[in-house]
Structure 1
C-alpha cells in the first residue's frame, strides 16, 4: 500500500531549518523540498523514466524564489510530459537551449552537418560547400530564429526565391532541410517534421540535367533511337545498360569489371573505388557511401557480354572510345541523347532513374522499401531508417529488376502497355 504524504504548507517550507545532514520535505507525487546543510532550499522532482526504467531527480528552482504553489504547477507540467511519453529533464534542457539560441535553424544545421559528416563520412571540403549554401541563402533569412518557430510557408517562399537564381541550390537545400528537420525531431526540438511537405514542391521540373519524360509512353521510341544511333557502340551499350539498371551517372561511368559477378548475376557498386590518375572523380562509388547491389536481369547480362567485346581487355567497363586509359566522358551520354533529337528539357541520363521508379511504382506489386533500396535512396525518416537500413530485400529486388527489363522488352517489341496493366497479365514473367 502506497504511503500517504501530507502536503506541505508555506509555513512548513519557510520554517524548515538546516541540520547536520541535508533532508527532504515531501509534498507528494514526486515533488519535495531539499534542505541542505548550508540552509539553501531547492525544489526537486523525482520520477521514473518509462523508456529507461530509471529513477531521475530533477532540480526545479530555489525556494523561496519559486513558491510552493508555483512548484506544484511545475510538478503538474512534468507529470503531463511524462503522460505524453516525454522526459521532463530533457524538456528542461531543451528550454535552456532555446533560451540560449541553441535550437536556431543555424545551430541545428551545424549540429546536423557534423553528425551527418561523421556518418557518411564527408570531407571537410564537401562539408564547407554544404554549409556555404545555407550561409548564403538560409541563415540571413532566419537569423537566430528557433527551428520550431519556422513555418512551412516561410520555407516554401524562401526556396522559391532561391530557385529563381539557382535551381540546383534550391534542390539541394530542400533535401538537406528535410534531413535537418528530421534531426531536430529525433532530438525532441520539434514535434513534427514540416519540411517533409517540401518533397511535393515542384522544384525539379525545370531542372535541365535531371529532365525526364512527362509520361512513360515515349520509352519504346527512346530504345529504338538508342539502338539506331550513329555514335560509338560503347556509348549505345552504355545507354541501354543505364536504362536497364537505372544507376547514377558516376556509378555507371566509373564501373570496373571486378564489380560484376556473373555467377550470382550481381553488380556490386562499392562505396569507394580506386582513383585513376587523370580521371577526375573516378574514386566515386555508390552515392549512399555503402556498397550497393544491383541484381542483373538476363537482359543486363546480355548487354554486359556485348560490352565485354569492346572493353573486356581492360579493367573499365565503359572506357572512352578514343582512349581506354580514360573513362567515358561525363557529357557523352547526354550528348548522344541530343544527337538523337531529344532536347535537354525532354530527357537526360539521370531521367532514366525517374522513369524506372515511376513505372515500377505504378506496377503496384513491390514493397516501397524494396524499391527505395534498389533506387539507392536514403530513408529520410530516422525511425523508419533505423529498422530498414540493414534489410536488403534481395529476392524482391531481383524480381524488380527482371520485371523492369521484361517490361522494356515488351513495350519495345509489342504494343505499349502500361506498367499497371502489364503487372496483371497472366503471362507476366518476373
Structure 2
C-alpha cells in the first residue's frame, strides 16, 4: 500500500466538499493514517492498527492545528510503540496520567505541601486519621513535632515506597548523634507506625523500621529519684513539715506524699472532686494517664482520703476553696500551679534532683508500702492507677480492692507520721490482701 499520499491541497479540497455536502469523507495517507473530513469543516487525524488481534484506533489531533507532517510523525511514533509490543492507546493514557500526577505534584509543591505518596503525606494522613483519634492531644502533638523536626527534613518528600532501612537508619542516627537516644527510639516507633499505615493503604509494600530493631543504641533508663529508705524518708518528711514557703505549696508537698498521685494529676486537682463526707477524691478519667478511649469513656480514679489528707484539704480550703483549683497558680486563679512547684520546693529544702522529685513520692509509696507495710503489690498498683496486664486488665482502676485501698491509704498516712516523728518502724513480713 502506498504511503504519504496526501497533500495539503487535497486535504483542503476534501474539507470544503464535506462542508458543502454534509457528508463525512475519509482520506487515507497509508500505513494506518487517515484524515476524516467532517461536515463541520474540521479534519480529524486517525491511526488505525491492530493489537492483540483486535482492531484499534488512535486519535492524532485536528487539522490544521496538527499539520500533515506532524500527523505522519505521530503515526510513525505509534508504529514504533507497536513494534516494541506495546499498545499506543494504553501508553498514551499512562502518559496522560503521569503528566497529571506531575502537575499535581508541582501544584502541591507550590502550595508548600508534600507530594502525594511521599513519607510526609502518608505520615500526616496517619497523624490525622489514626494517631490523633487514638492518643491524647498532647501525645499526638509530641509525635507530630518529632516527625516534623527529625524525619520530614530528610525523608519527608521521598516516595514512601522507595525508603529502605539504611536511609531510615541514617535519619535516626542524626538524632542519636546529638545525644537524644530515647527520642531516636520514639521516632523509629512513629515511623514504623507510618509505614504500617502505608502498607494498609497501598502506599508502600513493607516496613523498613522493622529491620532496625537492634540498630540503635539502647536507652539507658533513668528512673525518677525517690527516697525509699525509712531513715531518709523521715528526714524528708521532717523537712517538709518545717517548710516555711507559701502555704499552698506546703499543702502540695504534704499531699504529694499522702495521695500517691502523679504530679500532673495533683496540681490540677479541683475542689469539686473532693468529698469531705465520703472521705474520697474522685479524679476524672480525662486527667489520668490513659489511652484516649479510656480518657473519654473510662471510669474515674477514686482516691480514699486518710484523716491526715482530709486535714490538709480542710486547712487549704479557706485559702483556695472559693476557686476552681485546689492549687491555683500564684499569678492567676484561672489555671493550676506550675508543674515545677513541688520540685522547686524540694530543691529549697536541700534535696537535689538526684535525691528526691515530685514523681518520686509514687516510687516511695510503691516500694515502702510493699516492703515495709506488707501490702499486696496489686493493691498498691491499683491505688497508683497503673495499667495492669492480664485478664483483669483495667479492672484494678475501677472496682477492685476498694476496701483494701482505703485501708492502705490509712496505714500509709500513719506510717508517714511515724517516719516523720522518728519512731522505730519495723518491716512486716506478711502481706495482706484483705
TM-score by length of 2: 0.51
How do 1:18-417 and structure 2 match up within 5 A? 111=126, 114-122=129-137, 127-134=140-147, 136-137=149-150, 161=176, 164-165=179-180, 169=183, 203-205=220-222, 211-213=224-226, 215-217=228-230, 218-272=232-286, 285-288=287-290, 289=295, 292-298=300-306, 299-320=308-329, 324=333, 327-360=336-369, 362=371, 363=374, 365-367=376-378, 371-378=380-387, 384=390, 388-390=393-395, 392=397, 394-396=399-401, 399-400=404-405, 401-402=408-409, 403-412=411-420, 413-417=422-426
Instruction: Kindly indicate whether the alpha-carbon contact (under 8 Å) linking 1:321 and 1:328 is maintained by their aligned counterparts in 2.
Output: yes
Q: Which has the larger radius of gyration?
A: 2
Report the Cα offset of residue 130 of structure 1: 0.7
CA offsets, 1:52-98, max 9 Å, x none? xxxxxxxxxxxxxxxxxxxxxxxxxxxxxxxxxxxxxxxxxxxxxxx
Residues 316 and 170 of structure 1: CA distance in aligned 2, closer, same or farther (over 3 Å):
same
Instruction: Kindly indicate whether the alpha-carbon contact (under 8 Å) linking 1:225 and 1:340 is maintained by their aligned counterparts in 2.
Output: yes
- Secondary structure at the aligned position of 2:179 is classed as helix
Residues 121 and 313 of structure 1: CA distance in aligned 2, closer, same or farther (over 3 Å):
closer
Separation of aligned partners in 2, 1:194 and 1:375 = 36
CA offsets, 1:374-399, max 9 Å, x none? 333446x6xx48x6235535452553
Which range moved further: 215-224 or 127-136?
A: 127-136
Residues 221 and 250 of structure 1: CA distance in aligned 2, closer, same or farther (over 3 Å):
same
- Report the aligned-residue RMSD: 5.3
Instruction: Kindly indicate whether the alpha-carbon contact (under 8 Å) linking 1:318 and 1:328 is maintained by their aligned counterparts in 2.
Output: yes
Structure 1: gaps spanning 5 or more residues: 1-101, 273-284
Equivalent pairs counted in the alignment come to 297
Residues 314 and 111 of structure 1: CA distance in aligned 2, closer, same or farther (over 3 Å):
closer
- Secondary structure at the aligned position of 1:389 is classed as helix
- Secondary structure at the aligned position of 1:244 is classed as helix
Separation of aligned partners in 2, 1:182 and 1:244 = 44
Instruction: Kindly indicate whether the alpha-carbon contact (under 8 Å) linking 2:127 and 2:140 is maintained by their aligned counterparts in 1.
Output: no
- Secondary structure at the aligned position of 1:263 is classed as coil
Report the Cα offset of residue 261 of structure 1: 2.0
Task: Give 1:55's aligned residue.
Answer: none
Report the Cα offset of residue 224 of structure 1: 0.8
| Structure with higher helix content | 2
Separation of aligned partners in 2, 1:317 and 1:389 = 28
Report the Cα offset of residue 225 of structure 1: 0.6
Structure 2: gaps spanning 5 or more residues: 1-116, 199-205
Separation of aligned partners in 2, 1:312 and 1:378 = 32
Report the Cα offset of residue 251 of structure 1: 1.8
Instruction: Kindly indicate whether the alpha-carbon contact (under 8 Å) linking 1:297 and 1:405 is maintained by their aligned counterparts in 2.
Output: no
CA offsets, 1:247-297, max 9 Å, x none? 22332222111111223332122245xxxxxxxxxxxx3332355313223
Task: Give 1:34's aligned residue.
Answer: none
Report the Cα offset of residue 340 of structure 1: 0.2
Separation of aligned partners in 2, 1:182 and 1:249 = 35
Instruction: Kindly indicate whether the alpha-carbon contact (under 8 Å) linking 2:376 and 2:433 is maintained by their aligned counterparts in 1.
Output: no
Separation of aligned partners in 2, 1:416 and 1:183 = 55
TM-score by length of 1: 0.51
